[in-house]
Amino acid sequence: MERTLSDEICRFVREESSNRFPGSGERYFDDPLIGFAAATDLLFTEYKSVIGEFHLTPVELVAASTPEDPWAPATVISWVLPINDRTRASNRNETVYPSRAWAETRNFGEQFNSALRRHMVGWLSGKGHRAAAPQLMPAWREMGETAVGIASAWSERHAAYAAGLGTFSLNDALITSKGIAHRLGSVITDLKLEPSERPYPERRSNCLYYREGTCGACIGRCPADALSRGGHDKYKCRSYVYGTIPDAVAEKYGVTATGCGLCQTNVPCEGGIPVGRSPYPV
């Protein structure tokens, strides 16, 4: 069933018209990476300590969203949607604002990502399974003031980490085998699937800065001064990405959400895991 489900996600990514730039037929996203985590994996409980008590486990998320019709989740299905190379290339030379293609991918590509969430919920339901997409569930919410800065009741990055798809970087993004330039999504289901292996020794193994004390290229790429050797200032980042950039280019680009992505392009982890002196095969 793991293969059948993965094939359906891949088919939707390849064939769905909403995964295409208008007029060109070029896809926003290349073929996805897909992983699975047990809904009862202790990592999801640990996240309540790492992120905050407000971060819900799959069981809590389902219980809070459907109290009148409870069901027991068994698996978290997570995917990585790699941004295509042409779009990444267009963003490499930018130093202040994202390229038009990057902004369109953030805006319309994320709409496609939500369509993929809904599609997989419907596909699983059609096969007799309960399913829901965390970001589309009533219990999902965002918190602006927490001990870890801006956060939410469900982190797609942490779900992907649990599903063996990548590790965290200096800029708080997820470095996967197809790099750091991507969008993430997930669905929770009562269908029991074999959990994916987590091939990394620890949560930051794919980042050269944490792994070897080298790189830090993303620091120089940030126009908002939100990155440093000390990590990621979420408030500076958010103010720039959701305020400064849209005010400057959203109308020009014909989008409402622009993203930024400068720290995800023209860096060694843009399209894959930097090899360096890797502690495990990449």
In a domain, 269, yes or no: no
- Six-digit token pair at 135? 């970001």
List of long-range contacts for 67-71, beta carbons under 8 Å, 24+ apart: 71/130, 71/190
**Position 21 in a domain:** yes
* pLDDT (0 to 100) of residue 148: 66
Structural domain range at position 164:
2-264
The confidence score (pLDDT) of residue 149 equals 66
Q: Is residue 129 included in any domain, yes or no? A: yes
Contacts of 230 (CB under 8 A, 6+ apart): none
**13-62 per-position pLDDT tens digit:** 999 999 999 888 899 999 999 999 999 999 999 999 999 999 999 999 99
Say how far apart CA 237 and CA 244 lie, in whole Å: 10
Average pLDDT over residues 260-274: 97
121 within domain boundaries: yes
Tens of pLDDT, residues 89-118: 999 999 999 999 999 999 999 999 999 999
Please indicate, yes or no, if residue 186 is contained in any of the structural domains.
Answer: yes
**Residue located via tokens 């990405």:** 241
pLDDT one-digit tens code per residue, 150-194? 778 999 999 999 999 999 999 999 999 999 999 999 999 999 999
Residue 201 falls within a domain, yes or no?
yes
Whether pLDDT at 66 is above 80: yes
pTM of the predicted structure, to 2 decimals: 0.94
Q: Is residue 107 part of a domain?
A: yes
pLDDT digits (tens, 9 = 90+) for 224-253: 999 999 999 999 999 999 999 999 999 999
In a domain, 40, yes or no: yes
Mean pLDDT of all residues belonging to the chain: 94
Query: Residue 247: helix, strand or coil by DSSP?
Result: helix
Q: How many domains does the chain have?
A: 1
